[in-house]
Structures are given as structure tokens and as C-alpha cells.
Amino acid sequence: MVQKSYGKMRRSRKKMTNPPKPTITDLLRKFEIGDKVHVVIRSSGRFQHPRFHGKTGTVLAKQGRTYIVEIHDGSLAKKLFLAPEHLKKG
């Protein structure tokens, strides 16, 4: 029998499929502090946990080329450091 997987990527195969490369527009997208954004994890970029895919949050700050986004995971407020290719205007 095949052993069941308990890894952090289980049940995320269909969730994480999208076009292989981000476009130039995706890479150069700009957001203002306080903007609402949707987290759309691109599998071609640096790995993020699939739990946050589809969440909506608020941009708190910019750090380098990444944005600090606050989302609510249950009752907890969490800060994510995400590149612009993983964000869409909400």
C-alpha cells in the first residue's frame, strides 16, 4: 500500500497550478499602504504556504521589493512578506 502524505503541500496540487511565469506587469505592480489585496500564490515564485492562497489582507508597509501584508488566519492577525507577483488589487 501507498503511505499517506502528511506534508505541508498535501491537498494543494490543484490550488497551486497557474501560468508558469509571471509577466513583467506582475513583477512591477505597485501598491499603496492601506490597499486591500488578494493573495494569489504563484507556484513559479518563491514558496509560500498554500494556507494563505485566496486570502484578502491589507498592505502595511513596503520592505525592499516585497510588501508586508496583514491577513487574518482564524482569529489571529498574521504578517506575510510577499512579492508583488503574489498579490492582486482587491
Q: Give the pLDDT score at 16.
A: 67
Residue at 85 is within a domain: yes
Question: How far apart (Å, rounded) are the C-alpha atoms in residues 53 and 41?
Answer: 6
Q: pLDDT at residue 19 above 70? A: no
Give the total number of structural domains in the chain.
1
CATH number at residue 82: 2.30.30.70
Q: In a 3-state reduction of DSSP, which class is residue 81?
A: strand
Minimum mean pLDDT range among 3-7, 31-35, 42-46: 42-46
Residue at 23 is within a domain: no
Q: Which whole-number Å values give the CA distances from 59 to 39, 45, 46, 63, in the listed order?
A: 11, 19, 19, 11
Residue at 75 is within a domain: yes
Q: Give the pLDDT score at 3.
A: 86
Beta strands in the chain (DSSP E): 36-39, 56-63, 66-73, 76-82, 87-89
Residue at 76 is within a domain: yes
User: Mean pLDDT over residues 68-74, rounded?
Assistant: 94
Q: pLDDT at residue 90 above 90? A: no
Question: How far apart (Å, rounded) are the C-alpha atoms in residues 48 and 29?
Answer: 19
Q: Give the pLDDT score at 8.
A: 72
Range of the domain at 40: 32-89
Residue count of the chain, please give it. Answer: 90
Q: Give the pLDDT score at 5.
A: 79
How sure is the predictor about 80, in pLDDT bands with cuts at 50, 70 and 90?
very high
Work out the number of other CB atoms within 10 angstroms of the CB of residue 55.
17
Residue at 12 is within a domain: no
User: Mean pLDDT over residues 41-51, rounded?
Assistant: 73
Residue at 69 is within a domain: yes
